[in-house]
Amino acid sequence: MRQVQRGQGAAPHSSAPPHGVPPQPTYTDGHADNGYDNGQGGGYNTGQVYGGGGPQGPGPDGRPGRPRPNWRRRIKWISITVVTLLVVVSVGTYFWADSKLNRDVDLSKVIDRPDGGEGTNYLIVGSDSREGMTAEDKKKLHTGSAEGKRTDSMMILHVGDNGNTMVSLPRDSNVTIPTFKGSESGKTFPGTGRQVKLNAAYAEDGPELLVRTVESNTGLRIDHYAEIGFGGFAKIVDSVGGVEIDIPKGGMKDTKSGADFEAGKQTLDGEQALAFVRTRYALAGSDLDRTKNQQKFLSALANQTATPSTVLNPFKLYPTLGSGLDTLTVDKDMSLWNLGSMFWAMKGITGGEGKSMNMPISGNTGNGNLQWDTAKVKTLVNQLKNDEKVTVSGN
C-alpha cells in the first residue's frame, strides 16, 4: 500500500489564518504592519479616516482626528442671531416709546383751517406747566406756583426739501382771536375782532385755540403740535448729561429766572438750562432776544440728543427717551417718525442746514403788543407753503 508521506501533497503555506482565528500582525524589520504606511512602503494610506467626517488624518494615538470647524457656517448663524436680536430690540423699543407719547391734542377740533402746502409744519410750544413738580422742584427751578398753564415759548418749524426753517413767535405778538369751537364744550365762540397777546389764546382754551389762532393770523396750516413743560424740559437736559452753550460777552444774570452765567462756553444742567431759556429781563431785546436763545438752546439740545454717545448707549438712550416722551404732549396723529423728523430738523439747523429767525416785527401796537410786519409775514408764509428757500429776514 502506497504510503503518503506526511506533508507531501499538502497546500503550499498560506498567510491566511485558520477559520475562526483573527488575523495576526506580520512583522517587517521588527515592526508591526497594522495596515498604515510606516514611511517605508509597507501597508497603504488612502488619505481617508473612516468615521472622521473630513479629510483630517488620525491623531498621534492612531484614532480619527476632530473635524475642522466650519467657520463659514458659524459666521452665518452668528450673523442671523445678531440681526434677529437687533430687529426684536428695535421693534420692542419702538412700541415702548410709542406707548409713552401723550397724544392729548385733537387738531380735528380746529375749524376753518387753511389749505396745506408742501413740507411739514410743526408748532413747538414750551409751556409753564408745573404738573408733577413738588414744592421743592418749583423752588429749585424758580418757576413759582401760578395756577393754570401759559405758553412760555412758541415756534413754527418747517421741514421741507429746500431747507428747514425755524420761526419763533414772540409771546407778546399782537393777534386777533378768531371764531373757534371750544375744545371741551364743543360750543362755537364767534370772533369779535378781540386783539390779545398770542399766549393768551393758549391760556383761554389750550392748544386747539392756539393752533386756530396761529393759522388764522398767518394763513399757514399746522400739521403737528408738540409741547413740553418746565419739569420735563429740565429732565431731558439732565438725562443727556447737560447741553453746551456759549454765553455771550457780559454774561447773564436774572433773579427772576435764576440765571447767573459767566461769559463763554459751558455745559448747562436742567436747572440752568431752564433759567437760560426763560430769561428775558436781563436781555436788551427782552422777549425777542429770549426767543433767539430758545431757538439756540433747543437746536443744541436736539444735536446733543442725536449723538452716537446717546443713541448707541442703551443706558443713556432709554432714560432720555423715557424722560422726554413722558413729559411731551403731542397731537393724536403724531408718530415717532414725525417726532424724529422734527428733532433731526432742529439738529440740522444747529449745523447750518437751515434757517432760524423771529417772526418779522414792524413795531408796537397801541396796547403795547408786538405788531407783525404784514408784508414780510405774507411773503414768508408763501415761501413756506411752497417749500421754497426762505429769503425773508426776521428781527
Q: Which residue(s) pair with 355 in the sheet?
A: 165
| 138 within some domain | yes
Residue 313: what pLDDT? 60
Mean pLDDT score across all residues of the chain: 78
Banded model confidence at residue 106, pLDDT cuts 50, 70, 90: very high
Does 101 or 138 have the greater pLDDT score?
Answer: 101
CATH assignment at residue 311: 3.40.630.190
Task: Look up residue 292 and give its three cell numbers.
Answer: 433767539
Residue 318: what pLDDT? 58
Q: Is the pLDDT of residue 7 over 60?
A: no
| 65 within some domain | no
Q: What is the pLDDT of residues 294-330, one digit of tens each?
A: 888 888 888 777 666 665 566 566 566 666 667 788 9
Q: Which residue(s) pair with 124 in the sheet?
A: 155, 226
Q: Is the pLDDT of residue 133 over 50?
A: yes
Q: What is the pLDDT of residues 329-366, one digit of tens each?
A: 899 999 888 888 888 888 888 777 889 999 999 998 88
Where helices occur in 66-222 by DSSP H, the ranges are 71-100, 135-140, 198-218
| 58 within some domain | no
Contact 231, 131 (CB under 8 A): yes
Task: Look up residue 91 and give its three cell numbers.
Answer: 421693534
* CA 217/CA 200 separation, integer angstroms: 14
Tell me, yes or no, if the pTM score tops 0.75.
no
Q: What is the pLDDT of residues 367-391, one digit of tens each?
A: 889 999 999 999 999 999 999 999 9
The CA-atom distances, in angstroms, between 263 and each of 145, 238, 255, 294, 326 are: 30, 22, 17, 17, 33
Banded model confidence at residue 152, pLDDT cuts 50, 70, 90: confident
Contact 240, 304 (CB under 8 A): yes
| 391 within some domain | no
Residue 55: what pLDDT? 53
| 313 within some domain | yes
Banded model confidence at residue 122, pLDDT cuts 50, 70, 90: very high
Domain that holds residue 254: 102-386
Domain count, the chain: 1
Q: Is the pLDDT of residue 231 over 70?
A: yes
* CA 367/CA 373 separation, integer angstroms: 16
* CA 22/CA 34 separation, integer angstroms: 13
| 311 within some domain | yes
| 227 within some domain | yes
Under DSSP, is residue 149 helix (H, G, I), strand (E, B) or coil? Answer: coil
- Find where cell 391760556 sits: 203
pLDDT > 70: percent of the chain:
68
Task: Look up residue 76 and give its three cell numbers.
Answer: 452665518
List, in sequence order, every beta strand (DSSP E) within the chain: 26-28, 31-33, 102-105, 120-127, 151-159, 164-168, 174-176, 180-181, 188-189, 195-197, 224-228, 243-247, 252-254, 259-261, 264-268, 328-331, 354-358, 361-364, 370-372
The CA-atom distances, in angstroms, between 261 and each of 122, 240, 246, 257 are: 31, 20, 10, 12
Residues 6+ apart with CB under 8 A from 102: 326, 328, 329, 330
| 113 within some domain | yes
Lowest mean pLDDT among 110-119, 267-276, 277-286, 314-323: 314-323
Q: Is the pLDDT of residue 38 over 50?
A: no
Task: Look up residue 375 and give its three cell numbers.
Answer: 408784508
